Amino acid sequence: MLRDSRQRLATALLIMFMILFSAGCGSNYEPDELSYVLLIGIDHGAQNLLRISYLIAVPKNISGPGQGGGGGGQTASVVTIESPSIYASMNMVNSFVGRKISLMHNKGIIFSEAMAKDGSMGVIVPGLTQFRETRGTAFIAVSRQKPEEILTRMKPLLETNPAKYFELLAGNQSFTGYIPSEKLQNFYNELKVGGINPVSILIAISDEKLPPYNGQSNYRSEGDYVAGEMVEKGGVALEAMGAAVFREGKMVGILNGNETSIYSMFRGQYRRRIYTIKDPLKPGNLVIMEVNQAANPRIKVFLTEEGTVIEARFLLEGNVLGVNSLIDYSLPPYRPVLEKAFEEYIEQEARNLVEKTQHEYRSDILGFGNKARHLVLTQKDWEQLNWPVLYENAQVSVEVKYKIRRTGTLLRLMPISKGGSENTQQGE
C-alpha cells in the first residue's frame, strides 16, 4: 500500500477532492437566479401572524442591458404576503416569484408602530439578526403607517435604484442629525444588553399638504418635528424624522428631531447639523450655525450614597453660517455671548431629554448604564443594582462646551443700505 510517491500523491489528491467537492457547490446561485430584497416591511397579519412586504429590485429596469440607465419601467416591486414567520414567508413568496428571495442586499427593516408597541418587534429582531443573509448594517425603522403602504408609496425621486435611496436616506444622519444612526446589529445589541435600550428610526408617509399662509410666520425649531408632521410636499412621499424609543423590547414613545440630535450627542454618533437659534443679543432675529461634535462625549457615572450621579460633557464646535441681526459674531466681544447662549440651549435640551427618558419613558436609551457597568464586578452584582430604577432617580448634569471656529467668508456684515448709491448690502 502506498509504496511510491505517485500513489501517495494520487491518494492525497483523491482525499482532497473528496473533501472539497463534498463541501462545495451547495450554496451556489447565479446572480440572476436570486431576487434581491431591498427593504422589508413587517406588520401584523390579518389571517396569519405576520404580514410581510418585500421590496424586490427589478434589475433589468435598474440597469438595462447596454443602456446603462433604467429602462423606464418599475425599478422595484412590492410583494406582500401573510405568513407565520419571516423565513417561511420567503419560501411562500417563491410560490409566485420565480427567483429565490435573498435578503443579502436588504437595506432596511421597517416595522409597523403596532408591532413595535406590543413587543413583537423585539421578538422578531433577534431572529432576523441570526439569519445568515441579513445584513447587520440594515437600518431599522418604525413606521407610523402600514409598512406595505410605505413601500408602495415610496418612489425615489433621483435614484433609479431604491437601495441607493435608502442607504443615502439613512446615511443623511451624518449631516442632519434628525434620525438616529441605528442599524439592525446595534438594535439587537442594545436590546440584549442591560445598560442601554434601543431606539429606531421613525418614518412616516407625508401627507403632501401645504396649509395656506395666514399672514404670520412663527419660529419653530427645525428639529421640532417628527415624521409625518412635517410641512412638505414633493420629492418622495416619505419622511424620516425622529426616533422611536424602546423599553424592554416595546416602543414606549418617540423623540423629535432635536431630541434625536441630543440623543446622538450622548451616544457619540452625532456628526453635524444645522441649528437655527434665536439671536442672544437681538431676540427677534436668528443665528444659523452648523454644529459638529469635536470629541466624543465624556460621560461619568458615580454611585453615591444619595443615588446615582451622572456627569456628561459635550465638546461642540461650529461655524456661523448666517446672522439675521447683522451682529458680527466674529468680533471678540460678541462671540463668547453666542457661544454661551448655544451652550445653555443645548444643556437645556439635553436636560429635557434626560428628564423625558428618566420619567416619561423610563428607558435608558442614552447608554448611561453601559458606562456604569464597570462599577460592579460581576453580572450578578449588576443585576442586583437594578439599573433601570437607579437611572430613574439619577442626577444627571450636562455640561456643554461650544467653540465657534469660523464665521463665514465675509469680513464684515453691512446693513441694508438706505437708498444711497453705495450698494454693498450683505448678510442674511
Partner 1 sequence: MQLKHWTSKILGYDGPPDSRDFDLVETDEEQESVSEDAGEESIPTSMSRKHKIKKPKKTGSARYRHNANKSGVDSDEDNAERLNQGKSQREIHIDLKTNKKSIEQLFHMPLNKDVVIRVFTLSTEPPVPAFLVFIEGMADTKLINDYILKPLMLLTNLDPGPDISLDTCTNVLQKHLPSNQVKKLTLFEDVVTHVLSGDTVIFFEGCPCAVSTETKGFSHRAVDTARTEQVVQGPQEGFVENMRSNTSLIRRTVRSEKLITEYLQVGFRNNNNMAIMYLADLVNPDLVQEVKRRIKSIKTDYVAESGILEEFIEDQPFSLMPQIIKTERPDRVSSMLSEGKVAIIVDNTPFVMLVPGLLFDFLHSPEDHYVRFPHAIWLRIIRVFAVFLTILLPAFYVAIATFHQEMIPTDLLLSIAAARERVPFPTIVEILLMELSFELVREAGVRVPGIIGPTLGIVGTLILGQAAVAASIVSPILIIIVAVTGLSSYTIPNYAAAFGFRFMRFFFIFLAATMGFFGISSGLFVLLCLLLNMKSFGVPYLAPVAPKTAPSADIILRFPAWQQETRPDYQQPLDVRRQPKLSRVWAIKQSRQPAGGSENEGVD
If one asks whether residue 305 binds partner 1 (CB under 8 A), the answer comes out as no
| Closest listed residue to residue 35, CA positions, set 57, 20, 54, 14 | 57
Q: Is 21 in the site for partner 1 (CB under 8 A)?
A: yes
> How far, in Å, are 71, 85, 406 from residue 58 at the CA level?
10, 25, 47
By CB under 8 A, which span of 4-12, 261-269, 335-343, 378-386 interacts with partner 1? 4-12
Q: Residue 37 CA to chain centroid, in angstroms?
A: 20
34 part of the interface to partner 1, by CB under 8 A:
yes
Among 40, 52, 56, 57, contact with partner 1 (rule: CB under 8 A): 57
Question: How would DSSP label each residue in 23-52?
Answer: HSSTT---GGGEEEEEEEEEEE-SSSSEEE
Is 133 a binder of partner 1 (CB under 8 A)? yes
Q: Which stretch binds partner 1 (CB under 8 A): 104-112, 216-224, 329-337, 351-359?
A: 104-112
Judged by CB under 8 A, the stretch of 59-67, 296-304, 318-326, 351-359 that binds partner 1 is 59-67
**60 contacts partner 1 (rule: CB under 8 A):** yes
> Please, which residue, 167 or 347, has the CB nearer to partner 1?
167
Which residue number, 135 or 183, has a Cβ lying nearer to partner 1?
135
Q: Does 24 bind partner 1 (CB under 8 A)?
A: yes
Binding to partner 1 (CB under 8 A) within 158-177 occurs at 161, 163-164, 167
Residue from the set 23, 157, 158, 377 that interacts with partner 1 by CB under 8 A:
23
Q: Taking CB under 8 A as the rule, does residue 96 contact partner 1?
A: no
> In one letter, which amino acid is 134?
T
Residues 194-253 that bind partner 1 (CB under 8 A): none
DSSP assignment string, 226-284: -TT-----SS-S-EEEEEEEEETTEEEEEE-HHHHHHHHHHHT---EEEEEEE-SSSTT
Which set of grid coordinates corresponds to residue 114? 403596532
Q: Which stretch binds partner 1 (CB under 8 A): 10-18, 225-233, 352-360, 362-370?
A: 10-18
**Apex 159 CA angle, 157 and 162, nearest 5:** 100
Residues 226, 259: Cα–Cα separation, whole Å: 10
CA distance 185 to 183: 5
Interacting residues with partner 1 (CB under 8 A): 1-2, 5, 8, 11-12, 15, 20-21, 23-25, 27-32, 34, 36, 38, 57, 59-60, 62-66, 102, 104-105, 107, 133, 135, 161, 163-164, 167
